[in-house]
């Protein structure tokens, strides 16, 4: 059995699981494609559950070719 909470407010979505939080803002920033799209690190956000203030976006780290898990 999977455990987590799914939330959708207008076009923004998030999933809060025991170890990670995923935030999907991709539909919000899709108003003038393709030239006005924000980078993936701004549209998709992945945080460890221990990162309470959500300061280290693991998607941004992966986009910069850093080790996303070794935070």
- Structure confidence at residue 18 as a pLDDT band (50, 70, 90): very high
Q: If you average pLDDT over residues 23-30, what whole number do you get? A: 70
CA atoms of 56 and 71, how far apart (whole Å): 8
Query: What is the domain partition of the chain in residue ranges?
Result: 5-63
* Region of poorest pLDDT, from 4-8, 26-30, 40-44: 26-30
Q: Containing H/E element for 27?
A: none
- Alpha carbons within 13 angstroms on the beta-carbon side of residue 1 total 1
Peptide bond into 34 cis (omega under 30): yes
Which pLDDT score, from 0 to 100, does residue 21 have? 93
- Structure confidence at residue 26 as a pLDDT band (50, 70, 90): confident
């Amino acid at each position: 059995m999977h455990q987590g909470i799914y939330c959708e407010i207008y076009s923004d979505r998030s999933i809060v699981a025991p170890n990670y939080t995923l935030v999907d803002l991709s539909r919000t920033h899709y108003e003038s494609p393709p030239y006005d799209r924000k980078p993936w690190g701004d549209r998709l956000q992945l945080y460890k559950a221990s990162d309470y203030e959500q300061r280290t976006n693991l998607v941004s780290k992966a986009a910069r070719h850093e080790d996303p898990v070794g935070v």
